[in-house]
Amino acid sequence: MVNSSWSVDEFLDQCKQSGDSAYTAFRSLLEKLEDPTTRAPARVFLSDLQKRFSSGEASEQCLSTFHFRIQDVVLDQYEGYGGRKKLTTMVIPSIFIPEDWSFTFYEGLNRHPDSIFKDKTVAELGCGNGWISIATAEKWSPLKVYGLDINPRAVKISWINLYLNALDENGQPIYDGENKTLLDRVEFHESDLLSYCRDRGIELERIVGCIPQILNPNPDAMSKMITENASEEFLYSLSNYCALQGFVEDQFGLGLIARAVEEGISVIKPMGIMIFNMGGRPGQGVCKRLFERRGFCVTKLWQTKVIQAADTDISALVEIEKNSPHRFEFFMGLAGDQPICARTAWAYGKAGGRISHALSVYSCQLRQPNQVKTIFEFLKNGFHGISSSLDLSFEDDSVADEKIPFLAYLASILKGNSFFPYESPAGSNWFRNLVAGFMRTYHHIPLNADSVVIFPSRAVAIENALRLFSPRLAIVDEHLTRHLPRQWLTSLKIESTDTDNPSEDVLTVIEAPHQSDLMIELIKKLKPQVVITGTAHFEAVTSSAFEHLLDVTRKIGSRLFLDISDHFELSSLPGSNGVLKYLSGTPLPSHAAVICGLVKNQVYSDLEVAFVISEEEAICKALSKTVELLEGNTALISQYYYGCLFRELLAFQLADRHPPAERVCENEKPTEMIGFASSALSVLDNAELSITETENSSPIHMDVDKSFLPLPSSVKASIFESFARQNMAESETDITTSIRQFIKSSYGFPTSTGTEFIYADCSLALFNKLVLCCIQEGGTLCFPAGSNGNYVSSAKFLKANILNVPTRSEFGFKLSEETLTGVFESSNNPWLYISGPTINPTGLVYSNREMENILSVCAKFGAKVVIDTSFSGLEYGFEGGGVWDLGDSLARLYSSSKPSFCVSLLGGLSLKLLTGGLTCGFLALNQSLLVDAFHSFPGLSKPHSTVKYTMKKLLSLQEQKTGGLMEAIAEQKRILCNRAKRLKQTLEICGWEVLECHAGVSMVAKPSAYLNKVMRLKDTAFEMKINDSNIREAILRATGLCINSAPWTGIHGYCRFTFALEDTEFGQALDCIIKFKDLFSN
């Protein structure tokens, strides 16, 4: 090859044989160019080769005869730092030949300022013969350009073109102003889109691409192995066609672009820019949305029309139009201005007409790059299926600034955690600390998390506060009474009564005007025990109205709850707030608390969470217990959402930059005021509620009815998709049809058009409304011994007339017909609560026959029955799997029983659908009178639309037995069965009598080996004589393990253990049981 006069002819003879022979010849030439010792003569050889075909006609003849062509690409006005006006490039038939498509793209790149590529790391996708990568390096002097193409022949030819332009005709390097050559700035690599950069951890600042956007009419052709020895026709088709990529954009032929964009998100630097050539065939709106829904801000740099390439078959687009309402956009010739569809364009082209389409160059930049990267990092780890639901396009920047960070936070939570962690009923410690931090940072109020209690909503916070104090008379702002019980708002009992009958202990609420002076006048005249009010907007700026209210309520002895919801701003520049100004200089008096409902987000009008601030420790503790008793907990997702907003506002603040000022404490003590209601105080003191975690302790919870087992991928995907979607149709969040089908298939529970379905954040809140209906009706609420202790405690808190139904150990502490008959004979207007099919806490199961017999007794006495299925769905050791078919028996009983007989079905989906901390309760009511009574107690915290979407999606997967959910349920049943065996074995070894369980997440056991023994803790003076009531405290003190004791289970001597713990914690719990035994071994 050094002797060019001989080698050129021989080289051409080889090329003439075939396109494959020409490629082989050039590949050998490339080897010479890559070798520094032969590089110069090889470059001279290329010059000699070009001179043989210097004219345009000769160049075209060369392509047809010798299967290659060397020609110049004129840059002219686009010359760069090197001042070069043209590039010399070669092509072969098996790679993309530069034409209008790529020239238009380069024109679009030139619309950017010169600085866009200067000193940047760039990748070009689908580089073809590499001319754009080389031109980019020549014009803008980037740090590095990676030209990438899936066609191995294209990569080889690109390297040859690089040497053609990096070296002069004599084979000497051409240096630019920075003393670098194009060889220093450009590399070419075989790569499926960005895989080369991704696999090597190369971070890019610019990604440009000019890649195929039409599906191959022959899909099977795209499945062939891509090698340099593949046919010329196949390799060339890679330049025109793409295969299905598994993206929603496949329907427009844009799936490959979509994949390139998502791969680009993972490797592009935060301020990076992507620039793509987009054929306008799908329509400009479709092209733009591809980028916008992935979080990009889009700028159209350039648009023109180009003739549709004659060698590209558009029949695949015709097929898409046939199967969808979408119409592609073509034009008749370059002058046509009325779009025609793909079918018309195909027919016109077949008849010899020339068709064109729009061609645009889009420049795209991520609006919140770090957060969007986090989102897509989550999606690519097994959740690609939900990427089609992702929509990060927002017309309002404030909406984007709120939702994108939350999606990123949710993605990090779902990716980094296998389950939702245990959180205190007072609210997530993380969230309460953020609320307190916001108050410290923005309002200079020295709060800590212990002064903050979280509620599901403002309405719930108000009702719980009133139930906690149970005042004879309360005055409530007229704007805050809408969700209070109707009975409170219609009662006229404002005078004190001497009755001790709880059913006559009616709380009376008087509605008051919003204006503070009128409110104060009412307070002075009526002397209420509790006042709940907000402030008018014109009074909220200063603290005078608040101070006046404090003063008046202090003198009268009224508890004051001030609502600041309307004036509280989640903003980096919050408006003036008189109440918060006051609190920055003065502690909140002991008789006052502040309520704030958070509803002012930019995205979800129905997403609420509330907090109460009190600097009185006893008030905070009592209020947090009301959440546990009456609501179960506050939805974790709601806390995550608003917590993310608080976190964003605090993230850029310097800690403790403004130390809080000294606050002046009040000197005047309030008049004696109402304390907690005696019934409430009794329950709060005696109920076994959650153990509060401290900074120095983190107890292991075998005392909560939640699962901490890993969330299946299908659950995580459904949760994320519910927030990723925008503009969900009402039908997508209406779960009634799904619930109706679920309870029919699981329990055979009959429903009709008259059945009322009611939903709440958790089933406990629904149960408590039923308890209120029972109280209002004068009913007797019957609990079998061995019922969930939290339900019994909440009924006591609400002052229900409760009757305990004895159960016997020989029947596994299940209800018997004989015992139930005896209880009902002596009961007035009985209501029966029963947990089934899975019984909580014992973990035993009621069979279909057993439940039918129980219902027969209830029908005979006209009892109202509440069947609680909340703890069912994970039966693993029971024949029949805990499935009932009650339809026929209930139809028979309804036709022959007393009119008062009815069966209500209560349920929750978290255990059945493996959603862990994401809860949704439902209640099916079949009696119209009960429905009316239920709706007279309106203050329910409803599940958010995203929760309902998630549950509906999972119920659908369960019904269809798809999505891996059924396999996950079977696996969790296997885990629970194994856990139950291990726990039973450990307990029995340690001297406990265990009642074997067959379902659910809990079991009961009797501490026979420890009763009446004295426990002494090493190195302390503490000692305790063990009985079935104090063993919970003993085990907690000795080991840090939380269980429920006999007063909670209602079964004499038996404690309750839940075992759906995270795997490590379960092992630690077993160690704690052994450790407790060892205390008595010495």
Judge whether residue 1064 has pLDDT over 60: yes
If you average pLDDT over residues 937-958, what whole number do you get?
Answer: 92
What pLDDT is stored for residue 2 in this prediction?
46
Classify burial at 961, counting beta carbons within 10 Å of its beta carbon; exposed 0-12, middle 13-18, buried 19 or more: exposed
Cα separations in angstroms, 879 against 882, 971, 979: 8, 18, 19
How do residues 153-189 score in pLDDT, each as one tens digit?
Answer: 999 999 999 999 999 999 999 999 899 999 999 999 9
Which amino acid is it at 816?
A: S
If you average pLDDT over residues 535-540, what whole number do you get?
Answer: 87
> Which DSSP letter does residue 711 get?
P
If you average pLDDT over residues 369-388, what whole number do you get?
Answer: 91
What pLDDT is stored for residue 1022 in this prediction?
80
User: Cis omega before residue 142 (within 30°)?
Assistant: no
Classify burial at 977, counting beta carbons within 10 Å of its beta carbon; exposed 0-12, middle 13-18, buried 19 or more: middle
What pLDDT is stored for residue 880 in this prediction?
66
Rounded CA separation 636/640 (Å): 6
Angle 928-945-424 from CA coordinates, rounded to 5° = 95
What pLDDT is stored for residue 171 in this prediction?
93
Q: What is the 3-state secondary structure (H, E, C) of 424-485?
A: CCCCCHHHHHHHHHHHHHHHCCCCCHHHEEEECCHHHHHHHHHHHHCCCEEEEEHHHCCCCC
If you average pLDDT over residues 727-751, what whole number do you get?
Answer: 93
State the pLDDT confidence band at 315, using cuts at 50, 70 and 90.
confident
Rounded CA separation 42/35 (Å): 10
What would you report as the CA-atom Rg of the chain, rounded to the nearest whole angstrom?
A: 37
Handedness of CA 791, 797, 802, 808 (dihedral sign): positive
What pLDDT is stored for residue 1016 in this prediction?
85
If you average pLDDT over residues 6-18, what whole number do you get?
Answer: 89
Which amino acid is it at 35?
A: D
Rounded CA separation 794/772 (Å): 11
Which residues are registered as beta bridge partners of 993? Answer: 1006
Token pair, residue 590, equals 């002991």
Mean pLDDT of the chain: 90
Rounded CA separation 993/985 (Å): 10
What pLDDT is stored for residue 223 in this prediction?
62
| Distant-in-sequence, close-in-space partners of 414: CB < 8 Å, separation ≥ 6 | 378, 711, 716, 719, 720
How do residues 784-793 score in pLDDT, each as one tens digit?
Answer: 999 999 999 9
β-pairing, 592-598 vs 559-563, is parallel
Whether 296 and 260 have beta carbons less than 8 Å apart is answered as no
How do residues 992-1050 score in pLDDT, each as one tens digit?
Answer: 999 999 999 999 999 999 999 988 888 777 888 999 889 999 999 999 999 999 999 99
Rounded CA separation 102/113 (Å): 19
Least confident stretch, 227-241, 242-256, 1055-1069: 227-241
**500-522 burial string, b = 16+ CB within 10 Å, else e?**
eeeeebebbbbebebbbeebbeb
Token pair, residue 351, equals 């008849």
If you average pLDDT over residues 535-563, what whole number do you get?
Answer: 92
Judge whether residue 503 has pLDDT over 50: no
Rounded CA separation 844/788 (Å): 13
If you average pLDDT over residues 642-671, what whole number do you get?
Answer: 74
Whether 845 and 838 have beta carbons less than 8 Å apart is answered as yes
Judge whether residue 50 has pLDDT over 50: yes
Token pair, residue 501, equals 């009958």
State the pLDDT confidence band at 308, using cuts at 50, 70 and 90.
confident
DSSP 744-775: HHHH-----TT-EEEEESSHHHHHHHHHHHHH
State the pLDDT confidence band at 659, using cuts at 50, 70 and 90.
low
If you average pLDDT over residues 832-861, what whole number do you get?
Answer: 95
How do residues 413-466 score in pLDDT, each as one tens digit?
Answer: 999 988 999 998 999 999 999 999 999 999 999 999 999 999 999 999 999 999
Judge whether residue 497 has pLDDT over 60: no
What pLDDT is stored for residue 304 in this prediction?
85
Whether 764 and 921 have beta carbons less than 8 Å apart is answered as yes
Judge whether residue 224 has pLDDT over 90: no
What pLDDT is stored for residue 660 in this prediction?
62
What pLDDT is stored for residue 428 in this prediction?
93
Which residue in this structure is represented by tokens 């856990």?
979
If you average pLDDT over residues 303-332, what whole number do you get?
Answer: 86
What pLDDT is stored for residue 670 in this prediction?
63
